[in-house]
Amino acid sequence: MKIGICTFSDGRERAMKATREDCFGFQKKVVHFLRAEGHEVVEAKDLIWNWSTAKSQASLLSEADCDVVIYNFAVWAFPDFTAQAAEYTDAPILFLGAINPGYPGWVSFFASAGTLDEIGRPFGRVLGDISRSDVQTKVRAFLAQHAPERRRSGLEVAERLRGQRYGEFDGPSMGMYTGHIDQSQWMDQFGVHVYHRSQLTLAWMADKIAADRVSAGLKWLETYCKEVQYDGKMLTPGPDGTLARQVRVYLAAKDLCRDEGIDFCGLTGQLDFTEWDKGCTLDIPEALLNDTVDWEGEKKPTICATECDSNGALSMQVLHELSGTPALFADLRHYHEETGLYDLVNSGEHAPWFAHRSDDWRENWKEVRLMPAESFYFAGGGASVQFYAGTCDKVTYARITRKSGDYRMHMFTGSFVDLGWEANEALARQTSYTWPHIWAKFDISVDTLARHYSANHIHAVPGDYIAELIAFCEATGIEPIPLD
């Protein structure tokens, strides 16, 4: 990477001159570390101590097209010069507060931090002597999270999002504030148009679906699923059965998204369809929309969030645009303390692709068992889509929420674990057995999750996309909150 560095000093010329050698000494230590790491370093030629040097030195680094710029603090420096330098700094900024107890460098570090917060400019912070391994680790982490090629991917997602259309079918169910959105805010901040229709639209469209398309869907599910557990009550066969109802609703949603140019969507499901005696659970429609195939051919996933959790849908769409794969929608259902595993469950939202993540969809769907929906939650009947996800060594978890109307994204990494059939079965019976399960590990503590995470739903894709998500957030005015 090409890394720029500049050092801030006192706004009084006599004080600046008195500390000049000391300041450049600290800058040289950082430069030595960065070059030893293999980076190309561009150094400011003068200390930043007045408006002129703030402009000239920041411009010098900007013109050098640096990937990251380090703002170095070793003595007292006037915070307004930091703000002015930031106006001429296009690259991500990292504050580095050196250990220099003879001068109040940390005072300028924190004062300048408050200054950039005041003006809404993102930046990173590392305090400590650059010769210390823990300080070096934090600098490396910041640089990795702002690698230019990964930032470019995040910025491109922000661009691709603009002009997309979101299908909001009714709205968040069961009182979940975290799914609410302001349609005008989405258009202004993300460039996404919200197309709103009632689920009644899907109901009357479902009634008009051609019988041959429905029978093809039933035959396909019965052929390629591991089993279909018809019970004659909740899950019934035939063209007028509850599984057929689910197939009809799926095809209606698929057709409507196609006809209206909808890129991603949210289905309320509960409580409308699920409590209606002519309704059904929307597990089949949700799983199929999120997957890579149906009986009419292989397809691009249409990201779909259940309970019309629109902020969840947005989180999933961003992850999908980054990875090109289906994105997970799950409840943070339970933590098994004895194994350190989370049970990520939702009745139908897991795309069967997660079973093996295979390009051969048959490998994925052969793990799926269609089980009768639990009457306790889904009086309308139908099938729940049950399977266990395969192992994945690196996963990115993320969720967009709002705080006082301002968007933020919590993000962290982890993995998926496959315990084997018998252990999977035993563990699944402790929660909702008939639903799909992912046994997840998080690279953060339970305490960190409890203190910071603010949604019952969580989303994920295979791979490490933290750097890309940070860039996406900065491009769209979302506060990125990487958890560690």
274: confidence class by pLDDT, cuts 50, 70, 90:
confident
Q: How sure is the predictor about 272, in pLDDT bands with cuts at 50, 70 and 90?
A: confident
Mean pLDDT within 31-53 = 97
Burial class of residue 117 in the structure, from the number of CB atoms within 10 Å of its CB (0-12 exposed, 13-18 middle, 19+ buried): exposed
Q: Is the pLDDT of residue 448 over 90?
A: yes
Give yes or no for residue 270 having a pLDDT over 90. no
pLDDT digits (tens, 9 = 90+) for 93-119: 999 999 999 999 999 999 999 999 999
Is it the case that residue 51 has pLDDT exceeding 90? yes
Q: What percent of the chain clears pLDDT 70, i.e. is strictly above it?
A: 100
Please tell me whether residue 363 adopts helix, strand or coil conformation.
Answer: helix
Q: Is the dihedral of CA 371, 373, 376, 381 positive or negative?
A: negative
Positive or negative torsion for Cα 177, 428, 397, 141: positive
- Give the confidence band of 171 by pLDDT, cuts at 50, 70, 90: confident
What mean pLDDT comes out for the span 60-69? Answer: 98
Q: What is the mean pLDDT of the chain?
A: 96
Indicate the residue type of 62.
S
Place 298 in a pLDDT band, splitting at 50, 70 and 90.
very high
Q: In which band, very low, low, confident or very high, does the pLDDT at 271 lie, cut at 50, 70 and 90?
A: confident
pLDDT in tens, 337-370: 999 999 999 987 899 999 999 999 999 999 999 9
pLDDT band for 275, please (50, 70, 90 cuts). Answer: confident
Which DSSP string corresponds to 29-85?
Answer: HHHHHHHHTT-EEEE-SS-B-SHHHHHHHHHHHHHTT-SEEEEEESS---HHHHHHH
Lowest-confidence segment of 34-38, 45-49, 171-175, 198-202 by average pLDDT: 171-175
Q: CB of 280 within 8 A of CB of 242?
A: yes
Q: What is the pLDDT of residue 188?
A: 98
Residue type, 228: V
pLDDT mean over 31-51: 97
Domains and CATH numbers, the chain: 2-146 (3.40.50.10940), 155-482 (3.20.14.10)
Q: Can you tell me the distance from the alpha carbon of 397 to that of 232, in angstroms, rounded to the nearest whole number?
A: 39
pLDDT in tens, 181-219: 999 999 999 999 999 999 999 999 999 999 999 999 999
State residue 269's pLDDT score: 82
> Is the omega angle on the peptide bond into residue 143 within 30 degrees of 0, that is, cis?
no
What does the pLDDT average to over 232-248? 97
Q: How many CB atoms lie within 10 A of CB 327?
A: 30
CB 93 within 8 Å of CB 121: yes
Mean pLDDT of the 382-405 span: 97
Cβ proximity of 275 and 250 under 8 Å: no
